[in-house]
Structure 1
Amino acid sequence: MTTTVVTGGTGTLGRQVVDRLRAAGHEVRVVSRRSQPYAVDLVKGTGPLDEALRGADVVVHCASGQRGDEVAARRLVEAVRRAGVGHLVYISIVGVDRVPLGYYRTKWAVERLVEASGTGWTILRTTQFHDLVLTLLTGLAKPPVMLVPAGVADQPIGSGEVADRLAELADGAPAGRVPELGGPQVLDLGELAAAYLAASGRRRRIVRVPLPGKVARALRAGGHLTPDRAVGRETFAAFLTKVLAPSKTG
């Protein structure tokens, strides 16, 4: 039986990866700040990380946050070396090397740590999850007028499809940098906003606002998109139908 450790195994993506690996027959150890018996804070360096990795065959690194990702990855890589784990799988984001956003730059730095880990590794880059785009649009819809960045598109993908692919990669041999995984449609943010409003029953005027700066330019250029790898199946509209009940209170 393969023993697999999933960091961030209680998060949106991680818990789905855990379910799929267990269904495939893996012994899975969940590492997160509050999961027992492996309550580990990778940023602070607390908890039984070495114990969680002892005898493990694979580590799937799903833990991520707005701060401390590089520190957390460095600690994990060092522990992977100590434990002699043979395969480290990392989930990253399309465009981390093209969009000069702080979080993207951190993810890119983590990729390089994984590549230099000295163990077998696999890196999968994906576009933004449906859940993240929904959170963004929900926030933008709070005022009476919904302001969206002009000229910016997105390519959302279902987190369950990403979990399927990660579990498949964890079940195989180290593969290095594998082909990116993108959602089935590249849509303008105005189109995504309109789909959100229709699904939620809210009424807002959508106004496209031009944004200045290097990040906005990179996004308008599609640095975070992978249209040639639009292999996802679930559309954003289908996701909205599944998770939103129409409301007349907006």
Structure 2
Amino acid sequence: MTTFLVTGGTGTLGRLVAERLREGGHEVRVLTRRSRPYAVDLREGGGALDTALDGVDTVVHCATTPRGGDERAATNLVAAARRAGVAHLVYISIVGVDRVPLGYYRSKLAVERLVEQSGLGWTVLRATQFHDLVVQVLRALTRPPVAVLPAHAEDQPVEVAEVADRLAGLAVGAPAGRVADVGGPEVRTFESLTRAYLEATGRRRRVVRVPLAGKTYRAFRAGGHLAPGRAVGTRTFEEYLAERFGGGQGGRRG
């Protein structure tokens, strides 16, 4: 039986990865800032992190935040994993971190480099945006009476459970380096995603597309965050919406 440590193991992805590994009969430790017995702030590290890693074979690193600190957290995790003799470090990243000059993406790319140079056996998987994150963005954009969308923008949302399946499968295998990306089944215009969300939640909004400026917008418009050649996900955005909101005018507001 392999012992796993899943960082961010109560989050959207980490919780599902931990479940998959437990279902496979493995011992799983969940590390977050507040969940005992392995409550650790990775940005601070320390003895509690060493204790959490004692006897661990494989680390699945899902903990992340767009508010900063990912690089410091990864530096501490790698150092502690080396001290503990961890055999395999698995990291989940984002499609386009090397093509889109967004601060959060640059941080994720820097963490990839730390993992690759860690001296540990490593695996890095990149995925497109999860369905629920797209919904969070659309909820904010459609709050006013007029939904202002970036023109010429597309996305490729993927089901988080499918990414969890892939990540857990990689974790139980041998270190594989940078593996093929995981993308959702469809590349969709942002307008079509917005209209699907409005229909599912029973909302009526005027939709206006506005061209934006800047390097980040140009990179998104060019599809730097997409993986059309890796559209391996199967669950569509509409299927996700139907389950979450009940489908159409009678659905929950969200």
> Is the pair's TM-score, using the shorter chain for normalization, greater than 0.5?
yes
Aligned to 1:141: 142
For structure 2, list consecutive stretches of 5 or more residues without a partner in the other structure. Answer: none
- Separation in 1 of the partners of 2:104 and 2:252? 36
| Gap change, CA 1:55 and 1:140, over 3 Å in 2 | same
Contact 2:141 2:149 in 1 (8 A): yes
Secondary structure class of the residue paired with 2:126: strand
**1:189-209: CA deviation from partner (whole Å, max 9, x where unpaired):** 000000000000000011111
Q: Within 5 Å, give how 1:9-48 maps onto structure 2.
A: 9-45=9-45, 48=48
- Separation in 2 of the partners of 1:70 and 1:112? 10
Aligned to 1:233: 234
- Separation in 2 of the partners of 1:153 and 1:147? 15
Secondary structure class of the residue paired with 1:123: strand
Contact 2:58 2:89 in 1 (8 A): yes
Secondary structure class of the residue paired with 1:146: strand
TM-score by length of 2: 0.96
| Gap change, CA 1:157 and 1:29, over 3 Å in 2 | same
Moved more, 167-176 or 35-44: 35-44
Matched, 1:80 2:81: yes
- Separation in 2 of the partners of 1:80 and 1:46? 12
Contact 1:202 1:248 in 2 (8 A): no
Letter in 2 for 1:52: A
Q: Within 5 Å, give how 1:92-103 maps onto structure 2.
A: 92-103=93-104
Secondary structure class of the residue paired with 2:4: strand
Matched, 1:164 2:165: yes
Secondary structure class of the residue paired with 1:48: helix
- Separation in 2 of the partners of 1:47 and 1:183? 40
- Separation in 2 of the partners of 1:249 and 1:61? 33
- Separation in 2 of the partners of 1:174 and 1:15? 22
Aligned Cα root-mean-square deviation (Å): 1.2
Aligned to 1:218: 219
Letter in 2 for 1:50: D
Secondary structure class of the residue paired with 1:121: strand
| Gap change, CA 1:46 and 1:79, over 3 Å in 2 | closer
- Separation in 1 of the partners of 2:195 and 2:15? 30
Aligned to 1:183: 184
- Separation in 1 of the partners of 2:107 and 2:186? 27
Matched, 1:5 2:19: no
- Separation in 2 of the partners of 1:211 and 1:249? 29
Runs of 4 or more consecutive aligned structure 1 residues displaced over 4 Å after TM superposition: 247-250
Contact 1:140 1:147 in 2 (8 A): yes
**1:105-140: CA deviation from partner (whole Å, max 9, x where unpaired):** 000000000000001000000000001000000000
| Gap change, CA 1:139 and 1:47, over 3 Å in 2 | farther
Contact 2:201 2:253 in 1 (8 A): no
Letter in 2 for 1:76: L
Aligned to 1:58: 58
- Separation in 1 of the partners of 2:212 and 2:238? 26
Letter in 1 for 2:209: R
- Separation in 1 of the partners of 2:251 and 2:9? 33
Contact 2:245 2:252 in 1 (8 A): no
- Separation in 1 of the partners of 2:238 and 2:56? 40
Deviation at 1:44, TM superposition (A): 2.8
- Separation in 2 of the partners of 1:131 and 1:64? 16
- Separation in 1 of the partners of 2:153 and 2:46? 40
Deviation at 1:46, TM superposition (A): 5.3
Secondary structure class of the residue paired with 2:123: strand
| Gap change, CA 1:38 and 1:211, over 3 Å in 2 | same
Letter in 2 for 1:87: H
- Separation in 2 of the partners of 1:214 and 1:60? 32
For structure 1, list consecutive stretches of 5 or more residues without a partner in the other structure. Answer: none
